Structure 1
Amino acid sequence: MTDLELKHHRVTTSLGEIAVAETGEGPVLVMLHGGGPGASGVSNYHQNLPALAKHFRVVLPDQPGFGDSYRPTEEDLAERSITEIAVDALYQALDSLGIDTFHLLGNSLGGAAAIAMAQQRPERVTRLVLMAPGGGWLPFGPTPTEGQKEMFRYYNGGGPSEKKMAAFIRTMVFDHKQFGEDVVRARYEASLDEGHIAFYHRYNAAFAKRGGMDPLWRDLHKIKAPTLLLWGRDDRTITLDGAQLMLKQIRDVQLHVFGRCGHWVQLERQREFEELVSGFLAEQK
């Protein structure tokens, strides 16, 4: 995945164990992955680590339900949303690692967790980067979006397959030709963990009962950290039109839009992503 040395932790929280990988030295940058099948901290950001680890201590948690972290039960998801669960578990994990203040970056489902973390404990988040985040977004068009439908379809209708993973990736990106069979196969194989599959069915059912993501857009004004929004113009999962509310409600905010780019900015526009993130987090107020 990467030539960098990764340190791996299994951190005990009151909810369950959270798997955390980290690399690099410097100010702490916590990076939260999205919610697609086979997602995890390292798999979603491994290509960006060589550049970012030159400047930051990069911390990559697997969110509850994903990677090597614990799987929330049906009862857990009935009591609280996946975002509420993630925020609780992630803050406990960071406390156990002795991390007080930090930069925070999140994409999609991880973007929702990042928004909620910055809303609930604004004194701990120094700078915030959100890539097409869930929860803070109100689209003009119909929902669920094309990408969300493909995500829900993946584990249903006969279960996962390489063909369905290829269809999922085509929906996530602008130009799927840059992601070959090896990428499809690796992501497909990562999606086959039985515990993750069972969790995904519970998660999708709870998501439907709740009517979608938590309405984090109601409290965007609580975000105090300087915030950088990164968005693919051609995102078919968390669409760009929904960014307007974030631009209006977050106090210190800027937006960078990438043309010919879908939902995975960190992959599709890797070099620009790394330069923008590094430059923004290095700024001093």
Structure 2
Amino acid sequence: MIAAVRTWTAEQTLRELDTEDGVLRYHEAGDADAPPLLMLHGSGPGVTGWRNFGENLPVFAEHFRCLVLELPGFGVSDPTDQHPMVAALPSVGRFLDGLGLDRVDVVGNSMGGVVATRLAIAEPDRVRRMVTVGGIGQAIFSPSPGEGLNLLMEFTESPSRERLVQWLHSMVHDRSLVTEEMVEQRWTQATEPSTLAAARRMYSRAALEGMGRAAARSPEPPYWAMLHRVRARTLLTWGRDDRVSPLDMALVPMRTIPDAELHVLPRCGHWAMIEQKAAWEAVVLAFLTRAD
């Protein structure tokens, strides 16, 4: 007889951690004594950690203590006055310190993958293994910003349901995954005033142009130029049909992260953990549980 796989609701797994910079909310599933697996969501209208990874928890919680952090600026954890990307890495540090975790495996989708990579560069002893889902690296052949990011900027500057649907369609290969329920959930959260204000600090055209100018003046190299400092074994997972972070972005991290491997999923857009759920879970679980 095959044992039933346990499932959870968002309400059952939701936890809170008080920190000096506000409350961080997260979802926890799995045995408290199992190896910790930190899961970091991406960005975009109405995103949450639960919406990115909630459906993957039954598989990973069989092996890990899964911790899905809700990053500040996306409407679940306490809001932040900072740019959400600037606030993300310190919030991860406060979260791990608050839970007393010295070393974790990390899975990061898109922006979450960038945050995971920056953590692995800044604190190499803190990350054992890292899995990214699109998003990291630098476009080599594709135009930048790409289609998905342009649609995200259009929605952020002038939100409408039509623009939200257009952006959601750019996230997937199979448009049937974009349901009316998804649109409604995303619309409600994305247009909440503090969440929309945070999104405009991040994804308005003026904000992105300002970030580009600031990066050009900065004495520090961009994170993707420091990927050789990543010591964690790394699995790059990518949708072959990703229109947000095109596949050629994988070339830089694949070549410069010392211990990196790449798995490309066909008929798959930016949300590999959702659109090719079973295949993605099998590849990631095999990587994370492989003997050292």
TM-score, L = length of structure 1: 0.90
Matches of 2:60 and 2:75, distance apart in 1: 21
Please name the residue that 1:56 is paired with.
64
Query: In the alignment, is the contact (CA less than 8 A) between 2:189 and 2:195 conserved in 1?
Result: no
Please name the residue that 2:188 is paired with.
189
Of 249, 262, 276, the match for 1:255: 262
Query: In the alignment, is the contact (CA less than 8 A) between 1:130 and 1:228 conserved in 2?
Result: yes
Please name the residue that 2:239 is paired with.
232
Q: SS state of the match for residue 103, structure 1?
A: strand
Counterpart residue type for residue 101 of structure 1? R
Q: SS state of the match for residue 156, structure 2?
A: coil
Counterpart residue type for residue 36 of structure 2? V
Please name the residue that 2:79 is paired with.
71
Q: CA deviation at 1:118?
A: 0.7
Deviation digits for residues 3-55 of structure 1 (CA, Å, limit 9, x no counterpart):
41643332233433221111112211111101011111112111111111111
Counterpart residue type for residue 143 of structure 2? P
Please name the residue that 1:17 is paired with.
23
| 1:127–1:206 Cα change, 3 Å | same
Report matched runs for 1:162-241 at 5 Å: 163-204=162-203, 205-211=206-212, 215-241=222-248
Counterpart residue type for residue 189 of structure 1? T
Of 278, 282, 285, the match for 2:285: 278
Deviation digits for residues 229-276 of structure 1 (CA, Å, limit 9, x no counterpart):
000111011110111111110111110001111100011100011111
Tell me which moved more, 174-183 or 228-237.
174-183
Matches of 1:96 and 1:7, distance apart in 2: 18
Q: Which runs of 5+ in 1 are unaligned?
A: none
Matches of 1:209 and 1:14, distance apart in 2: 29
Query: In the alignment, is the contact (CA less than 8 A) between 2:85 and 2:202 conserved in 1?
Result: no
Q: SS state of the match for residue 273, structure 1?
A: helix
Report matched runs for 1:54-133 at 5 Å: 54-73=62-81, 76-77=82-83, 82-133=84-135
Aligned Cα RMSD in Å?
1.9
Q: Report percent identity of matched pairs.
A: 34
Q: Which runs of 5+ in 2 are unaligned?
A: 1-5, 216-220
Please name the residue that 2:146 is paired with.
145
Tell me which moved more, 123-132 or 139-148.
139-148
Matches of 2:103 and 2:232, distance apart in 1: 11
Q: Is it true that 1:4 corresponds to 2:2 in the alignment?
A: no
Aligned residues: 275
Q: SS state of the match for residue 244, structure 1?
A: helix
Report matched runs for 1:148-163 at 5 Å: 148-157=149-158, 159-161=159-161, 163=162
Q: CA deviation at 1:100?
A: 1.5
TM-score, L = length of structure 2: 0.88
Matches of 2:140 and 2:210, distance apart in 1: 20
Q: CA deviation at 1:282?
A: 0.3
Matches of 2:124 and 2:86, distance apart in 1: 16
Deviation digits for residues 194-239 of structure 1 (CA, Å, limit 9, x no counterpart):
2101111122344331119882111001110110000011101111
Counterpart residue type for residue 18 of structure 1? L
Counterpart residue type for residue 116 of structure 2? A
Counterpart residue type for residue 51 of structure 1? V
